[in-house]
Structure 1
Amino acid sequence: AMQAQLVIPFDIYGSLALSNERSQAGESRQRVNYSRAVPSEGGVGYNLGYASGDGPAYRQADLTWRMQSVQLQAGVYGSSDAETRWADASGSLVWMDKQVFAANRVNDAFVVVSTDGYAGVPVLYENQLVGETDRNGHLLVPWSSAYYRGKYEIDPLNLPVTVQTPNVEQRVAVRRGSGYLLEFPVRRVIAASITLVDAQHQELPLGSQVRHEQTGARAVVGWDGLVYLENLAAHNTLQVTVGEGRTCQATFDVDINEEQVPLIGPLVCQ
């Protein structure tokens, strides 16, 4: 018995295989097969095959459609006088952090990424984009590798400018057959940029020291009298030291529900 086979890859998904074989009984058969794998992020894959030689011709065709919540498959194989048709649907239901997730079949382990309720945050697993968090700030990664410290990342560019993410990358290993809730702390920061001027409406000198009286936070006046402050309250008071021990005071209000960083001023420090 002997067989010769030629495999031609076209891209990272598709390949063509040609083969010729001869059995010990002297029967010969030629085969041609084209397959296209399903992308890991989801999509369509298929497999087409045909074999002829001594005996009835053999045909094979199947299609796989992988979506975020389910994988559907259907196919047919056999000869003209003995044909078999089949179909399959597989998926998973996961309950974690008071939410139900529908996903593809979990073969090894899974991780639920949480962004503290912020939706539309891209999530990456091993540098590959998995998807975006839903309206509750969650995303299920159903194909995590068990016992491997996989790298999970979030891309904070879609978050409002008033939101801070102290950690955008974490590594975690999950036991086989189990899941893990991976939380990325996301906190909202009330901030503002303030332009400070003196009584003559001239910008305060560069490097003037600024102290927020309510929180004790300190900052420095930059070019054009501009200073940036975080963790503000609805009503704020600033104490400014303007060289040679001279001080002045400025008060201002901010909208704590503002989604953008406001530019306040010119604000007179007196």
Structure 2
Amino acid sequence: MIDQSGIRTEGSLTLLDGSLHALRYIQQGMALVSTHGIGHVPVMLENRPAGETDKNGYLLLTDLPRYHNSKISINPLDLPADVIAPVTDMHARPGNSSAVKVDFNVHHAVTVQARLVDSRRRPLPLGSVVSTPQGATIVGRDGFIWLEDPPLPGELVVKTGEGECRVTLPAPRTASSIQNIGEQLCH
């Protein structure tokens, strides 16, 4: 194509995952990095800075080697405290002039801290297993637990060396992403 100044230009528009991108002509592969709407996340390609996601949580990486695994990563320390990145390293393997999506499943989370105690107000034993609908964790020193996205309100099942008990989690007191719900009785 020749523009108004008489300069020959080539390129294209591509729609990837509902996101429009202008491209120059390339014969290599592409990867669309997604952070689920969380913008300004720095992205590394082969351990080198490659850019950051836009305000919608996308970054298009071009000129990736065809049929070769390229390491794409994000640093969870670059994310706000209320944002969780379950996966931080992925490999993209685009074909010839094709695109792949690299979805880091980054999301906002509510984090709950509590101290679990028995009926005599003693901390539950270190290493007791706490079950939530999302999985399990263990009780830390002095009965403390740290949970990501627990059911609020909801119930936890705790298995100690002496048996099993249940903890009722209250509804959130504030809209804060970090909730300290204090001492909770396991009965």
8 Å Cα contact 1:192/1:229 also seen in 2: yes
User: Using a 3 Å threshold, how does the CA distance of structure 1 residues 107 and 248 change in structure 2: closer, same or farther?
Assistant: closer
C-alpha displacement of 1:235 = 1.1
Q: Are 2:93 and 1:172 equivalent residues in the alignment? A: yes
Q: Structure 1 unaligned segments of length 5 or more: list them.
A: 1-85
| Correspondent of 1:225 among 118, 139, 143 | 143
Q: Which blocks of at least 5 consecutive residues in structure 2 are unaligned?
A: 1-5
Change beyond 3 A, Cα 1:203–1:128: same
Total equivalences in the alignment: 180
**Deviation sequence 1:77-130 (CA, Å, 0-9, x none):** xxxxxxxxx988776543222222235x34323332222222111112232212
Structure-1 separation of matches of 2:54 and 2:156: 40
Asked if structure 1 preserves the Cα contact closer than 8 Å seen for 2:83 and 2:106, the reply is no
> Percent of counterpart pairs with the same letter?
32
Q: How does 1:134-149 map to 2 (within 5 A)?
A: 134-149=54-69
The CA distance in 1 between the partners of 2:167 and 2:45, in whole Å, is 48
- 1:253 aligned onto 2:170: yes
In the alignment, the residues of structure 1 paired with residue 159 and residue 142 of structure 2 have an alpha-carbon distance, to the nearest angstrom, of 16
| SS of match in other structure, 1:157 | helix
Give the match for residue 39 of structure 2: 119
Deviations 1:43-84 (A, max 9, x none): xxxxxxxxxxxxxxxxxxxxxxxxxxxxxxxxxxxxxxxxxx
TM-score by length of 2: 0.73
Task: In structure 1, give the amino acid aligned to 2:66.
Answer: A
Query: Is the CA contact (8 Å cut-off) linking 2:31 and 2:92 kept in structure 1?
Result: no
* Greater gyration radius: 1
Higher strand proportion (structure 1 or 2): 1
Q: Which residue of structure 2 aligns with residue 235 of structure 1?
A: 153
DSSP-derived class of the 1:207 partner: coil
TM (norm. structure 1) is: 0.54
Asked whether 1:264 is paired with 2:185, we answer no
Tell me the secondary structure at the aligned position of residue 237 of structure 1.
strand
2:71/2:89 contact within 8 Å kept: no
